[in-house]
Structures are given as structure tokens and as C-alpha cells.
Chain A
Amino acid sequence: MASDPRRSAPRPGLVLDVDRSTPPVLFHHGEGFRLEKLPADRSRIIYPAEPLPGLPDPDESIRQALLNPIDDDPLPELLTPNMKLTIAFDDISLPLPSMRKPDIRQRIIEQVLDMAAAAGVDDIHLIAALALHRRMTEDELRHALGDRVYDAFAPQGAIYNHDAEDPDGMVELGLTRHDEQVTMNARAAESDLLIYVNLNIVSMDGGWKSTATGLSGYSGIRHHHNVATMQKSKSFMDRHKSELHHSNWRQGEVIKANGPRIFQIETTINNNTFGYDGPMSVLQKREWEWTAKDRATFIGMKKGLDVMPKAAKRAVFNGWKAPYELTSVQAGDVEKVHEVTLEHCFKQHLVPVEGQTDVLTFGLPYICPYNVNSVMNPILVMCLGLGYFFNMYRGRPLVREGGVLIMSHPTPWEFHPVHHPSYIDFFEQVLADTTDPLELEAKYEKQFAEDEWYIHLYRNSYAYHGVHPFYMWYWGASALQHLGRVIIVGGDERAVHRLGFQRASTMQDALEMASDVVGPRPSITHLHNPPILMADVT
């Protein structure tokens, strides 16, 4: 294990200038892949850093973090027999893809509960902090928490999903200095101690966003999940330049003053998304380093996927569990813990890049935070591309203002009817009318957010909240404002046009279409993501 140089001495990220000898580059394309040759002498490819080594003894590291928290008392000292203890944890949207068992949440929660058992705590609730996301199923909860925890608490109804629409289950904690409402899950708010177990896959997660968003409802979330906030967040992956985070931090001040005592536990994982061995490992390698075995595996995988029915392809990809390793764990005061978390996150993800580009390209994979075990619908394609991937920068966006974004994804006109019912109406009704974020926010958001049927499905089925597709659209609002054109290679023509974008059959066509906007021989940058990387643009 230690002899593998990829594990013992991982290489940092790389910016490769494309020349004539550069092999075609990998583009994720939904549940498939494309290999594209980029023009020589004016293209560059940003490769992610190789996975940092995981902590050698994760359980011991967790124990030490709980016993030696940052700016807080050791956890055992905060636990008393008659207390009301609530443990909230990140939902199914993290990590992506789901990680192999045991999940980090399970590792942490078992140790927290073991300390609670030693203190004789009886009144414990575990809450999936899912805000307005869909509820987690029993299997998903079991995967995140492990069978031991689930079997011990679920029969008494002490493990459940946060319900932001429960009239008796939410409390108002007050207003921020900007008059933003702060609401919180009642059980969490009324607890003597709230322990939040976080899993940071990107720098956007964690901090006050965990509790201020994860345990909140529409009346609290709407203050930062809106077009104005997102357009001012440059980017929302950079906490200190993100209006989204500033708003969450203001809400955090109110929680600190009027809410429960919070013991925050944050973790980071490495980039080991596809493993060092096995069929998917080729996706984690740089193309010129593919061995004969890698090439054979890739060809076999691609040809197989090309002929597989959609459902089978989804089953294959959704079945993949990433062998992520824990790179850091810290506990204690929310803000101080989060600063340490960000350092670890950036250490894995940041790749220094000089200057912006005319055309930014990337391939979109099969998964985003909102379609785990589900379908990647066109709205989520927009959100993943213009929201997440576009915002994977610190400093300046990778693409210049007025530049072109070319993404690769089949973008099928397809929705999961159980998970995304309001998305269907949003796509059919709202986007048919307008794609302007400000206009659709003003005209339609309230109607969707307060729709009784969507609320019923959110509370009792496994549906995202009625307002959720709006947030997905707002997520890309900054990119929409910034870009001159968006082109989707290989997308469904009708779906792409409904999104307000242009479709190209091939990368060559897309580059020609881009030159209409940015001129001939534009500079091109390809973001080789996933595994995740974040460009530090100077």
C-alpha cells in the first residue's frame, strides 16, 4: 500500500498546455464519457490534485477531536444524564458519490453516542438536516448512520428527517441585523446541546450553513437562496467572498444568541472518488498515463454503457460507492472549526491557474447533490454546470466576462416523478415563460413555495420542496449574468433550448459556435472535474 507512489506522494494539480501530442481528453457525459481533442497551442487542461493520504487511524483522530475540541470543552464534559441531546447530520447530498461503508457520519456518531452512553444520556434524537431536500429513505439512513445506530434509535422514533413544513416542529429564533428571519427545527433549538456532524466535500459546505440552512425552513432560507444573493457571491465556494455565506453567518449570530449550544464536528475527505484500482480508477488518471489495461477497461466500459438501457446505466453508476478517506476532523466552536476545515478542503482542491479564458469546457457527470439515486434532469444539469462547476474558483471566474461555457451532457427531457415533482412544473410552466432568474423569482417563487400539494409531497413522500427548482436556477444566476453563451454538447435539443442554451452535436461544432461570441482562435480551458478541483485564478 505504502509503496504506491500515488498514495504516499500524491502529485498536486496541474495545468497542462495542450500541444499536438496531447491525447484526447476525457469529458464526463452523464452516464457515459466522451474523448475530445482540444485545439493545440491555445488550450489548457486543469487536472485535479491526486488524493491526499487519509488519516492513518480515523477512529482515533475522531476521538482526539472530540476530546480536544477547538475553543470548546471536551465533549464528555458537555454530556449529562438528564440532558436533551440532539445530533444533526448532513443528508444524502453528501458526499458525491456516496462513500463506502462505514460512512464518516457513522464513525463520528458512534463515538459521540458512546460518550453519551458513558454519561448515561437517555433523551437523544438524531435528525437528518436536509432543509428543503427530499427525505432520506431507511436504506439511505442506514448507509449514513450504520445499522447499529439505526436499530438502536429508529424503533423509538428518535431518528428522523428534518421537516421544515411541520407547523409544530419549527421555531423562530429572531431576526438578523439585516432583518433576515432565523428559523430552526424545534427539537434542535430546544436541546441542551446540538451536535452537528458535517461532511465537507467542497468548501461551500459547513460552518453556520450547516445549522442555519440545514435545520431551517423556507422563511429562513429564502433570505440567502435568492437571485440577488447568488449574483453577489463570487464565488459561493469562497466563503469570504460569498454573500450566501455572509447571510448564513448573520443567521449564525442569532442562533448563537438565542439558540442551543452547538458543538460542531466537521470533516474533510480526499479526492479518491474512483479508487486506485478497479474499473473506475481510469477516470482518476491523466490520459497520457493510461496503461494498456486502463485503455482496455475504458473502451469496454464505454462500449458497454453505450448499449445499456438507461435504467441499467443508472443502476451501475448509483451502485458505485467512493472509497473516500478522511483527511481531517475537527470539533468545537462553529466558526473556528470551519476555518480549519476550509484549509484542509483547499489543500486538496486548489490548483493555481494564471489568467482567465475565452471558452471554458467541462463534462458533467451522472450525479449532482440533488439526484442521488435519482435522475439528473435538465434543471439539475444547469445547476451542476452553471452553479457548481462554474463556481469552482477562488479569485476570478475561470472564464472571462462575456465568455462561452461549453458543457457536455445528454440533458435528457426526463424527471424523477417522486423526487422532483415541482421540477416538472417548473420546466414545463416557468421556463416556458422565462429563463430570467429575477423575473421567475418575482413571478412564480411564492406560488411554488406555498403550494399545498408540493408541501404534502415534501413532508410525506420523498419529494424536494416545491421551491427547490427555483433555487437550482438561482444557483446558476451568477454564471448566467457573467457568460456570453452556454452550449451543451450532445444534449437533447428540445431540453437544451428550453433551458435557454444552445446545443452542439460535436465539440468542434461547439467551438465554432463559440467563436461567434468570443472571436476566432479563442483561448480554451478545460476543467478536468471530477475528481473535484477548484481553480485559484490570479
Chain B
Amino acid sequence: MKLARQIGLPKLPAAFSLIRRFRALPFPYRAPSTPRGVRPLRPKARTGADYDTAWSRRTPARMARAAIIEGPMRLAVSGLAAPDRRGTDRLAATSGPVIFAANHHSHLDTPLLLTSIPEPWRHKMIVGAAADYFFGTRITATLSSLIIGAIPIERTKVGRRSADLAAELIGDGWSLLIFPEGGRSPDGWGQPFRGGAAFLASKTGVPVVPIHLEGTGRILRKGRALPSPSTTSVTFGRPITPADGENATRFAARIEREVAALADEASSDWYSARVRAHASESPTLTGPAANGWRRAWALGDRSRSGRSRKRSWPNL
């Protein structure tokens, strides 16, 4: 300060002076320092599964999220993914919260679903998101909570915290969107379904709506940074509930079979898919047991049929 005065710098404004005085205040007016001989307590974790998302379910955040979903997100999804949405009529007789369980290929899956799931669920929705990925830093956690209504789900360690939070929110009337595979597909084929959705359905008594997504992997598959527009389809299945005596593992397997049957329906036709489903012959989501190129090769057989959005050749 003396030096500043000597070289003729102007005097600091009053605010700076106030901060200096505040810092000079003694304990208890300021935080205590830690004695050198003790080990300080670990700071309270504010990321990962410990991130508190309660603020993102209050009215201002919900309104902001609704505006984002119905505005830029819907615009981006229709521009990038041109979704063909089927089967929403299967939800006609359903009311109250539900768990939407979908296969997972891309980061685009969540925006696609948030703009496809019909009302009254769309704007009272929480999304199960990987705690280690989406909630890794304060910034990503805040953005995930605000934009998609994410709640952290532990996928790398066993803990009840995520499940308890999800169950509590479902009990409060929120619907949950979850990807039971636990992560995006690494090679275009699905991964075995984990038991989270089934466990929550058993615990809360709400139905699970299986959903099959097709085409998002072509737009933004795992490992790619920039999207490339393509067409997609979203097929909603009939809501299902655990049967008497059906445990979470078996119910998870049934959810996977339902999604596989929807995948079959999307790539062939509904009746043929039902015939195969009843005969337990629906093609699996996880693809052939072979490794390497044969899995990639087999992917090519799953061509999409039905009404194509663009005709590249005159229909003679």
C-alpha cells in the first residue's frame, strides 16, 4: 500500500477497504483455522451421488426446464432425429407416476425421450443419470439437473442412496426415466438390463413402460463428438408390473424381453413380432455371442421397415 502511494496510484475504493476489514475480523466472525497437529475433516461432497438436486424440482427450475424442452430441445431433436413415435396409445389407460425404461445408444436418447413421452408425464419427470459422469463436477451436475431433471444414480458402487431418492420421488408423483443398461451401447448392440428399474417398480408399485429407441446410435454413438442427422423411431410398450412372486431379477429380464419385442416390432411388423414374442423367439437386444466383426456384421440385418420418412426413389 505504501508502494502504491509512493508511485502515485489512486486510492482503493471503499468496498475493497471493507473486505479488508472483514478479513481482519477475529473468530467467531470469520472461519476458524485448523490447528497444525490435527487432520482436518473431509469437506462435504457436493458432486456425484451426494449432489442435492432438490432445487431442480422447484417451480422456477421446472418452468425453465419446460421452456428448454419445448423450445430448443424439441427443435434440435426434430432437426437431428426426425423421430417416428409409435405406441403412445398404449399409455391411454395409465395414470399416475410410471417408470420409463429404454435401451440406450446415445446422449441423444434422453432429449429424444423427453420430447416424445406424452403428457401428463413429460413435465413431471426425473431422469436417472450416471452419478460418476453427469454429476462429476458442479457445473455438469447443475446443468444436468436443470436441463433434463437428472438425479444421480450410482453405477460403480453399491449404495441405497440413489434408490431411496428415486423411490421417494416416485412416491411424490414424479415419473422416472431410466436406462437399465447402465450406459450407452459400445458397439451398437444392447447390453444386459440391470435390476434398477425392476427393483424400483417392485418397491414403489408403479408400472414400468418399456421403450425401444432405434436410430440414435447413427446420430451420435458413443465416442463421437459431433452429431450426424438421421431418422429415429421411439416405440412405447404396454405398461407392465411385477407378477406375484416375481423378483427384481426376473422382472428386469422381462422388461428386457419386452424391449426386445418392441425392437422386433419396429424392425418388422407388430403381428409377426407378437408371434415371435409368444414363441420366445424375439431377436435379443444384445446380439450374437460372437466377437468382433461378426457382431458388427449382424447389426446390418436389423434393417428398419415401416413407413420411411423420405422416399429416395419413386414408388413405382
Q: Nearest residue in A to B276 (C-beta to C-beta)? A: A117
Q: Nearest residue in A to B277 (C-beta to C-beta)? A: A117
A501 contacts the other chain (CB 8 A):
no
Q: Are the C-beta atoms of A148 and B93 separated by less than 8 Å?
A: no
B254 contacts the other chain (CB 8 A):
no
Q: Are the C-beta atoms of B92 and A102 separated by less than 8 Å?
A: yes
Taking a contact as CB atoms closer than 8 A, the residue among B89, B238, B307 that contacts A146 in the complex is B89
Stretch at the interface among A149-157, A247-255, A361-369, A509-517: A149-157
Q: Interface residue tally of chain A, by bracket? A: 20 to 34
B76 contacts the other chain (CB 8 A):
no
B269 contacts the other chain (CB 8 A):
yes
B272 contacts the other chain (CB 8 A):
yes
Residues of B close to A153: CB separation below 8 A: 269, 271
A58 to B94, CA, bound (A): 10
Known: A59-B93, A101-B92, A120-B279. Contact between A147 and B86, CB under 8 A?
yes
B265 contacts the other chain (CB 8 A):
yes
B278 contacts the other chain (CB 8 A):
yes
B274 contacts the other chain (CB 8 A):
yes
Produce 1/0 per residue, A470-512, CB < 8 A to B: 0000000000000000000000000000000000000000000
Q: Are the C-beta atoms of A106 and B89 separated by less than 8 Å?
A: yes
Residues of B close to A101: CB separation below 8 A: 89, 92
Q: Are the C-beta atoms of A152 and B270 separated by less than 8 Å?
A: yes
Produce 1/0 per residue, B220-243, CB < 8 A to A: 000000000000000000100000
Residues of B close to A140: CB separation below 8 A: none
Would you list which residues of chain B between 237 and 295 have a CB under 8 Å from chain A?
A: 238, 265, 269-272, 274-275, 277-279
Q: Are the C-beta atoms of B271 and A117 separated by less than 8 Å?
A: yes
A113 contacts the other chain (CB 8 A):
yes
Taking a contact as CB atoms closer than 8 A, the residue among B90, B92, B269, B274 that contacts A151 in the complex is B269
B71 contacts the other chain (CB 8 A):
no
Q: Are the C-beta atoms of B86 and A148 separated by less than 8 Å?
A: yes
B159 contacts the other chain (CB 8 A):
no
| Total count of chain B residues near the partner, CB < 8 A | 20
Q: Are the C-beta atoms of A148 and B278 separated by less than 8 Å?
A: no
Q: Nearest residue in B to A149 (C-beta to C-beta)? A: B270
Produce 1/0 per residue, A124-152, CB < 8 A to B: 10000000000000000000001111011
Residues of A close to B272: CB separation below 8 A: 152
| Minimum distance in angstroms from A249 CB to a CB of chain B | 34
| Minimum distance in angstroms from B123 CB to a CB of chain A | 18
A120 to B271, CA, bound (A): 10
| Minimum distance in angstroms from B211 CB to a CB of chain A | 15
A395 to B275, CA, bound (A): 50
| Minimum distance in angstroms from B57 CB to a CB of chain A | 23
Produce 1/0 per residue, A147-181, CB < 8 A to B: 11101110100000000000000000000000000
| Minimum distance in angstroms from A428 CB to a CB of chain B | 40
Q: Are the C-beta atoms of B275 and A148 separated by less than 8 Å?
A: no
B79 contacts the other chain (CB 8 A):
no
Residues of A close to B270: CB separation below 8 A: 148-149, 151-152
Taking a contact as CB atoms closer than 8 A, the residue among B86, B93, B278 that contacts A57 in the complex is B93
A65 to B128, CA, bound (A): 39
Q: Nearest residue in B to A117 (C-beta to C-beta)? A: B274
Would you list which residues of chain B between 57 and 102 have a CB under 8 Å from chain A?
A: 86-87, 89-90, 92-93, 95
| Minimum distance in angstroms from B118 CB to a CB of chain A | 11
Q: Are the C-beta atoms of A118 and B89 separated by less than 8 Å?
A: no
Residues of B close to A57: CB separation below 8 A: 93
A146 to B92, CA, bound (A): 13
Between A124, A147, A153, the greatest number of chain B beta carbons within 10 A of the residue's beta carbon is seen for A147
A23 to B301, CA, bound (A): 69
A413 to B265, CA, bound (A): 49
Q: Nearest residue in B to A56 (C-beta to C-beta)? A: B93
B314 contacts the other chain (CB 8 A):
no
Q: Are the C-beta atoms of A117 and B269 separated by less than 8 Å?
A: no
B26 contacts the other chain (CB 8 A):
no
Q: Nearest residue in B to A55 (C-beta to C-beta)? A: B93
B306 contacts the other chain (CB 8 A):
yes
Given contacts A57-B93, A113-B271, A149-B271, 15 further A-B contacts (CB under 8 A): A102-B90, A106-B89, A114-B278, A117-B274, A118-B274, A120-B275, A147-B86, A148-B87, A151-B269, A151-B306, A151-B307, A152-B269, A152-B270, A152-B272, A153-B269
Residues of A within 8 A of B (CB): 1, 57-59, 101-102, 106, 113-114, 117-118, 120, 124, 146-149, 151-153, 155
User: Mind listing 11 A-B residue pairs with CB under 8 Å?
Assistant: A1-B95, A57-B93, A59-B238, A102-B90, A102-B92, A106-B89, A113-B274, A120-B275, A124-B271, A152-B269, A152-B270
Which 7 A-B pairs give the minimum distances between C-beta atoms?
A: A117-B274, A148-B270, A152-B271, A152-B269, A102-B89, A118-B278, A152-B270
